[in-house]
Each structure stands twice: as C-alpha cells, then as structure tokens.
Structure 1
C-alpha cells in the first residue's frame, strides 16, 4: 500500500511543480486518462505533454490536492478511489473524484487508467432526498 500512496504522491508532486514529463512518467505507455471535462488522453507521453501545456497556461501555479478514500489490490492490479481538487490555495472541499487502475510493471506501480468526475453535491442531495434508496450505505 505504501508504494501505491507513493505513486499518487509523485503525481501530486509533479503537478505541483508544473512538470508534465514527471507527471506523464507515472502512467504506463498505453495508459488512458479521462478528464472530468471528458477529454481522453492515451499513453504516458501524451498525458505528460498535454499536462505540460495545461501547466503552462490554464493550470499555471495550481496545486493538486488528493485524499485516498479506498484501495483494493488484486495481485499486480489495484483500484484506487480518491477525492481531490485543483486550486492555487487550500480548497474548501475536495470536489473531484478519481478512480485509478494501477498495475505493477517491472516491480513498480504505474497508472494504467484514471477516470475523473466532478462531484455535484447539490444534484446528489436532491437525488437522495427524492429517492432515498439511491444513497450509498457507506459515505
């Protein structure tokens, strides 16, 4: 588990430095990154290149905040669910969720896929209010 947390910390550190190459190096060569706006990037090199362009423009000076909520290991594969945010200062809440599929390649964990989603708490609250059966048992 420590190695998995260390990998996610490396992604966070690379983001916070604005280092697209280091960020992309955390992914496998055939990785898939689905952003919360729906953009799909393929492969660590493309993910790193695209993020460098973002770090140099829209995301310049931002920091990545990540909280690991769940880790489940299945041999050399792990599923990790996180809450997070991207902001220039400490966010009021972690409003994005990400589900990572990690694989162990040559003894090291790397990201094979990640799907990011913006948490819409108002929509969720309305759903739970009008259809309580939709509320998960674990919160």
Structure 2
C-alpha cells in the first residue's frame, strides 16, 4: 500500500501549472481523468477532451501569455481520494500581481489510480 503525502499532491498541482505556463493544453488535460468535470462561474465542462479543447482555444485567445496561480490552503486525503481547497487565480500577460477581484477559491477532487494522482473534478468561485 502506498502512503500518500502532501508532496504528491503538490507535485500534481506543480505539473498542472507547469503545463499551463507552457500553454500545453494536451499535457494539462492529460492530468485529468477521462470523465473529469470543471465548474467555474458560467462554465461547465465534462471530460478530459472537453477540458483540453477549451484550454487549447483559450491559450490562443484570452489566456495567451497567462500564468495560473494556486496555493493550497487545505489538503485532505482519504485513501485514493484527496480534496484540495486553494486560493487561485490567473495572471494575464504582463501582470506581476493578482488583482483582488480575480482571486478565486478553488476545490480540487483528486483520485489515485495505477499509483498516479489525477484530477477528477475542479471548481472555483470568486474569493470576494
């Protein structure tokens, strides 16, 4: 039996945001389960392919040159499931600081299969 540590969760989040920094929608979406869901204000996506397609278009449009931020505030692991609550946001090209009005509180539901963690569900809402 593998013991899960917060470092494993941090590693998954690091790989997600490294893929974002590279604007690599394929690498980002590969870290999601095939049936993953993403819920954000006004947005619902279901499935890894949908997440990939959404990000690929966004990286060519409104998210071009952006960088994702995520700072876990609470990590709870129950067997092969983890829940991560974080402060998150997007820095657009040229920005050095996240404007308060774009700060989000995010909830990640992660699952472990075949020894690797992946994102089963993601949701965020305005922090303020």
Indicate whether 1:25 and 2:25 are aligned. Answer: no
C-alpha RMSD over aligned residues: 1.3
Report 1:1-139 matches (<5 A): 1-35=6-40, 37-88=41-92, 89-92=95-98, 93=100, 95-120=103-128
- Give 3-state SS (helix, strand or coil) of 1:109's partner: strand
**Alpha-carbon distance, 1:45 to partner:** 1.7
1:18, 1:110 → 2: CA distance?
Answer: 19
The runs of at least 4 aligned residues of structure 1 exceeding 6 Å deviation read none
- Give 3-state SS (helix, strand or coil) of 2:97's partner: coil
Unaligned 5+ runs, structure 2: 1-5
Provide Cα deviations, 1:12-65, integer angstroms capped at 9, x if missing partner. 111111111111111000100112x22111111210111110011011000011
TM-score of the superposed pair, with normalisation by structure 2: 0.87
TM-score of the superposed pair, with normalisation by structure 1: 0.81
Higher gyration radius (CA): 1
Structure (1/2) with the larger strand percentage:
2
- Give 3-state SS (helix, strand or coil) of 2:122's partner: strand
- Give 3-state SS (helix, strand or coil) of 2:118's partner: strand
2:121, 2:105 → 1: CA distance?
Answer: 14
Structure (1/2) with the larger helix percentage:
1
**Alpha-carbon distance, 1:77 to partner:** 0.3
